[in-house]
Structure 1
Amino acid sequence: MSNYFGSVTPYLLTGIVVYLIFRAFIWLMYYRGQMRVPILHEAGFLLLAFWFLTLFSSSVTPALEFSIKPTFPGTDLIPIKGMIDLALDKGFGAVLGAALKYVPLGFLIPFLFRRYRHFAKVLALCGGTALFIEVFQLFLPAVDCRLDDVILALLGTFIGYFLFCLLCRYFREAERMGTVKRSRRKNVPVPVRYEMELLVLLMLLAVMGRGTQLEAARVREVKAAQEKQAEEEAAAAQAAAEAEAQRLAEEEAKKLKTAESMPELSVESEAVCLFSIDDDLILYEKNSTEQVTPASTAKLMTALTVLRYCSLDETMTAGEEIQLISEGASTASLEVGTSGKVETFLGALLVPSGNDAAYALANYAGHKILGNEEASTADAVEAFMQAEADLAEELNLENSSFVTPDGDQADNQYTTARDMVRIARACMENETIMRLCGASTYRALFDNKDVTYRNTNQLLQPSSDSYYEGANGLKTGSYNDLKCLVASAEINGKSYVAAIMQGSDTGRYADAKTLFDYVAGTGEGEEASIDTSSSDETAEDASGEE
Structure 2
Amino acid sequence: MDAAAGTVLFSKNGDKQFYPASITKLMTALLVAENCNLDDKVTFSATATTNLEAGAVSINMTAGDVMTVRQCLYALLLKSANEVGNALAEHVAGSNAKFAEMMNAKAAALGCTNTHFTNPHGLNDSNHYTTPHDMALIARAAFQNDVVKTVASTRTYTLPATIKNPSGLTVTIGHKMLNPNDARYYPGVIGGKTGYTSKAGNTLVTAVEKDGVRLIAVIMKSKSTHYTDTKALFDYGYELVKAGALSGSGSSTGSSNNAGTTGSSSGTGNAGPGTSSAKGWVQDSNGWYYVKDNGAKAANEWVTVDGVSYWIDSNTYMAKGWRQVNGKWYFLRSDGAMAKNQWEKVEENGQWFYLGADGAMLTNTTTPDGSRVDESGAWVR
Which category of TM-score, normalised to the shorter sequence, fits these structures? 0.5 to 0.7
Q: Look up the match of 1:408.
A: 123
Task: From 363, 372, 382, give the equivalent of 2:97.
Answer: 382
- Residue ranges of structure 1 left out of the alignment (5+ in a row): 1-274, 368-379
Q: Deviations over 1:198-256 (max 9, x none)?
A: xxxxxxxxxxxxxxxxxxxxxxxxxxxxxxxxxxxxxxxxxxxxxxxxxxxxxxxxxxx
2:234 corresponds to 1:433: no
Distance 1:303 1:462 in 2: 25
- On the 8 A contact 1:338/1:446 being kept in 2, the answer is no
Distance 1:278 1:443 in 2: 33
2:343 corresponds to 1:542: yes
Equivalent position SS for 1:363: helix
Q: Look up the match of 2:38.
A: 312
Task: From 8, 12, 15, give the equivalent of 1:289.
Answer: 15
Q: Deviations over 1:296-320 (max 9, x none)?
A: 0111111122233321110111121
- On the 8 A contact 1:358/1:406 being kept in 2, the answer is yes
Aligned-pair CA distance for 1:279 = 3.7
Q: Match for 2:133: what amino acid?
A: R
Aligned-pair CA distance for 1:504 = 2.3
Aligned-pair CA distance for 1:527 = 4.9
Q: Look up the match of 1:298.
A: 24
2:81 corresponds to 1:354: yes
Report the CA distance shift for 1:526/1:427 in structure 2 as closer, same or farther (over 3 A): closer
Distance 2:343 2:190 in 1: 28
Q: Look up the match of 2:211.
A: 492
- On the 8 A contact 1:491/1:519 being kept in 2, the answer is no
Distance 1:470 1:328 in 2: 33
- On the 8 A contact 1:350/1:475 being kept in 2, the answer is yes
Aligned-pair CA distance for 1:444 = 2.1
Distance 1:495 1:393 in 2: 23
Distance 1:472 1:331 in 2: 25
Q: Deviations over 1:95-141 (max 9, x none)?
A: xxxxxxxxxxxxxxxxxxxxxxxxxxxxxxxxxxxxxxxxxxxxxxx
Q: Deviations over 1:464-506 (max 9, x none)?
A: 221111111111111127101010001212111111111123x
Q: Look up the match of 1:508.
A: 226
Q: Match for 1:292: what amino acid?
A: F
Identity %: 30
1:9-28 to 2 correspondences below 5 Å? none
Q: Match for 1:464: what amino acid?
A: D
Q: Look up the match of 1:263.
A: none
Q: Match for 2:106: what amino acid?
A: L
Q: Look up the match of 1:345.
A: 72
- On the 8 A contact 1:291/1:415 being kept in 2, the answer is yes
- On the 8 A contact 1:341/1:446 being kept in 2, the answer is no
Aligned-pair CA distance for 1:447 = 6.9
Aligned-pair CA distance for 1:529 = 2.7
Distance 1:484 1:366 in 2: 27
Equivalent position SS for 1:415: coil
Distance 2:339 2:4 in 1: 20
Task: From 92, 112, 129, give the equivalent of 1:365.
Answer: 92
- On the 8 A contact 1:477/1:484 being kept in 2, the answer is yes
Between the two proteins, the alignment pairs up a number of residues equal to 256
Q: Look up the match of 2:176.
A: 458
Distance 1:474 1:434 in 2: 9
- On the 8 A contact 1:519/1:530 being kept in 2, the answer is no
Distance 1:344 1:328 in 2: 23
Aligned-pair CA distance for 1:436 = 0.8
- On the 8 A contact 1:316/1:340 being kept in 2, the answer is yes
Aligned-pair CA distance for 1:362 = 1.0
- On the 8 A contact 1:442/1:453 being kept in 2, the answer is yes
| TM-score of the pair, normalised by structure 2 | 0.63
Q: Deviations over 1:340-374 (max 9, x none)?
A: 2111001111111111111111122123xxxxxxx
- On the 8 A contact 1:301/1:388 being kept in 2, the answer is yes
- On the 8 A contact 1:331/1:353 being kept in 2, the answer is yes
Q: Mean alpha-carbon deviation: is it higher for 529-538 or for 492-501?
A: 529-538
Equivalent position SS for 1:276: coil
Aligned-pair CA distance for 1:509 = 0.4
- On the 8 A contact 2:33/2:147 being kept in 1, the answer is no
Q: Look up the match of 1:241.
A: none
Aligned-pair CA distance for 1:278 = 2.5
Aligned-pair CA distance for 1:330 = 1.3
Aligned-pair CA distance for 1:463 = 1.9
1:1-400 to 2 correspondences below 5 Å? 275-320=1-46, 321-367=48-94, 380-400=95-115
Q: Look up the match of 1:530.
A: 245
Aligned-pair CA distance for 1:282 = 1.1
Larger relative helix fraction: 1
Equivalent position SS for 1:286: coil
Larger relative strand fraction: 2
Q: Look up the match of 1:59.
A: none
| TM-score of the pair, normalised by structure 1 | 0.45
Distance 1:496 1:478 in 2: 22
